[in-house]
Structure 1
Amino acid sequence: MPDQGAAFAARLEKAVQASEQAGTSPAAASAKRSEDAKLKAACQEMEAVFLNMMLSRMRASVPKTKLMGDTSGEETMQSLLDTELTKNMAQAGGMGLADMLYRQLSKSTVKGQAR
């Protein structure tokens, strides 16, 4: 999980820097749209990471049973399933965290450009 957080922070910083450097020309407007899309994607990824952490903590609180036997790969497969599930949840709107992050970060980048 720390690698995902660091990657998100790096992508977010690049998006903020690029949006600060964008001008008002048509090419700059196109770049701004591209950076907005990148910012939205980064916010969705952040929501997916948050949902994954929440889901894994919820699973940890449920007692484990040996009904199906003790398989060594079960935890790995469950982790992979949870990762994909939370990515899909975030893309489908999730709990709105990505939208809130995007709105907040877009405002801060617009204010940063006005200075």
Structure 2
Amino acid sequence: MATLVEVIATLDGIPDGDPYDVEPTIFVRKPWTAYSEAVVLNEDAVNGVAPSAPAFAYLLEVDLAKEVIRVWREWRAGAVPTPEQATQAVIFYGDTTRINLSRRSFVASANRQIRASRTAAMCGR
């Protein structure tokens, strides 16, 4: 199993998700540290965890983690973070933007409904 720092170090190799499908999402065993076990799954969190791996808690979508690192670089005049610095930035962002589980479940449910509506519209239903 990969650690979070290993996952963060390979983010550029993970393709962005399809806007009409579930985005690749980072899930991590708590407590969140650079060396906690982590997985990237194409599934929405349910009650704050990965449905297929309930021991892993939602951290961030891959595209948001990439954005966190991009902003970290901008704020530091283009400096390249070490894998540990990038990981700490992602953990910090994930922690500080945490929303309650009921809202996250609501958002995940709304996202599924939006994707279903878009798919139906594209198919002419």
TM-score higher than 0.5: no
Structure number with higher helix proportion? 1
TM-score by length of 2: 0.36
Structure number with higher strand proportion? 2
TM-score by length of 1: 0.39
Higher RCO (CA 8 Å, separation ≥ 6 residues): 1
Choose 1 or 2 for highest CA Rg.
Answer: 1
